Structure 1
Amino acid sequence: MKKIFTILPLLFLLCACSAEQPKPPADAAQIAFDHEEFDFGHVAEGIELEHKFKIFNRGTQPLQIFKAYSTCGCTVPTLPKTLLQPGESTTLTVQLDTSMKQDQVTKTVDVSSDDPDKPLVILSLSMDVENRHKALAEHSKAKFLTDAKCINCHVLQGVGLFGEELYKSDCAMCHGDDAQGGVGPCLVRDYSDPELKKHIWQVTAYGSKRKITMPGFLADAGGPLAKEQVDSIVEYLSHLEQKK
């Protein structure tokens, strides 16, 4: 009996020691970054920013990076090397355009690879963009909204939509979800005034006179919308006034 009680503590000690020992590295690729988040701090509107992330292969097998991408056209990642041998590294460069942005902004870059433990890593870039109404650069005209790098976020989401859905896709980002204003002015007004209703339609269709912050969304003005879609936006806004 004494032998049993003597052996049990020894077994417990052996188990504890073996549990504390680190597991040997898996025979696989292992992606790692020097950092996964970066804050640019306070920046001006209408400028190009750049930041670099270093990517490592800490594993024992080659690491295949499938893609580094962003859903926003203003955020462009460039990856010169997609296959890393064990111990190798590469640099991911991200360029970001602050045009038509203001206040706190966060953009992300997704990096996918064949790392079995971390197949997707989301890198984050944040900044505090100066209010563009205070310092709008000449090159930051409203046409940027329909340029190739901005069209996915500012235009394509509203294709085929009408009324409230179209407003929330193409207009809310500047005028607010409830149309109470944001980057753009408040659009909750008295639409019983036919002149006001006509003015809102004209600006939505053809843009503001100075074309600084508001582009023309009508197809005739180079925009993506049909006349019926512009009509539906103004009709939706007039209903907001009635609910007020």
Structure 2
Amino acid sequence: MKKLFTLTAFLIAFFAASAQSTGAAPEVLKLKESDHNFGDIPQHKPVYYYFEVTNSGNTPLKLDNVQASCGCTTPEWSKDAIAPGASSKIKVGFNAALEGPFTKDITIIYNGNQSNRLTIHGNVWKAPEGAAPANASVQFLKKQSL
């Protein structure tokens, strides 16, 4: 009975120690910043921002997908692996159809199953509806010079 108790205690200690050593993997994708404020931008005029990502791990970092929360936000990134210690950029474009404040999330999926999030925000103001109105004085002067 004493041997069974000792064996059980040993197995419990072994599994507890191994469970602690299999904790979460260290974060290898480091972001210089994860949030960007565009401030006030005109409606229907695309704006862009470059987020810098760095591989702080010991193996190459692969950005599997970068996806935006809506169609008005378009991320672009290199499909090449990022070497340990190296950096790359993710270009995020935004083209607002509606005026007013906005917040958009971009999800980075890397190394198969890990993820991180970027956020852009700002305020869209209504752009003028078209070209400036015609200047009647200019048209009058053109007719006079003929």
Give me the TM-score of the superposition, normalised by structure 1.
0.40
Partner of 2:110: 113
Counterpart secondary structure, 1:84: coil
- Aligned amino acid, residue 110 of structure 1: T
Map of 1:147 onto structure 2: none
Letter of the structure 1 residue corresponding to residue 115 of structure 2 = L
What's the Cα RMSD here? Answer: 2.4
Tell me the equivalent position of 2:99.
Answer: 102
Measure, in 1, the Cα distance between the counterparts of 2:42 and 2:89.
26
Q: How does 1:20-169 map to 2 (within 5 A)?
A: 30-99=28-97, 101-114=98-111, 119-130=114-125, 132=126, 135-138=127-130
Report if aligned partners of 1:105, 1:128 keep a CA contact under 8 Å in 2: yes
What is the distance in 1 between the residues matched to 2:93 and 2:110?
21
Q: Could you tell me how far apart the structure 2 residues matched to 1:73 and 1:120 are?
A: 20
Could you list the runs of 5+ residues in structure 1 that have no partner in the other structure?
Answer: 1-25, 139-244
**Distance 1:29-1:129 versus aligned 2 partners, 3 A rule:** closer
User: Cα offset for 1:59?
Assistant: 0.7
Q: Which has the higher helix share?
A: 1
Q: Kindly tell me the number of residue pairs found equivalent between the two proteins.
A: 108
- Shift of the 73–111 alpha-carbon distance from structure 1 to 2, 3 Å rule, reads same
The one-letter amino acid of 1:78's match is E
Q: Which runs of 5+ in 2 are unaligned?
A: 1-23, 131-146
Change (3 A) 1:30 1:127: same
Q: Which residue of 1 aligns with 2:141?
A: none
**Letter in structure 1 aligned against 2:120:** L
Runs of 4+ in 1 over 3 A off after TM superposition: 26-29, 135-138
TM-score by length of 2: 0.66
Q: Displacement of 1:28 after TM fit?
A: 6.9
2:99 and 2:81 mapped to 1: Cα distance? 37
- 1:240 corresponds in structure 2 to none
1:114-150 CA distances to partner (integer Å, 9 max, x unpaired)?
A: 287xx111100001111x3xx3444xxxxxxxxxxxx
Residue identity (%):
21
- Aligned partners of 1:59, 1:83: CA distance in 2, in Å? 12
Larger % of strand: which?
2
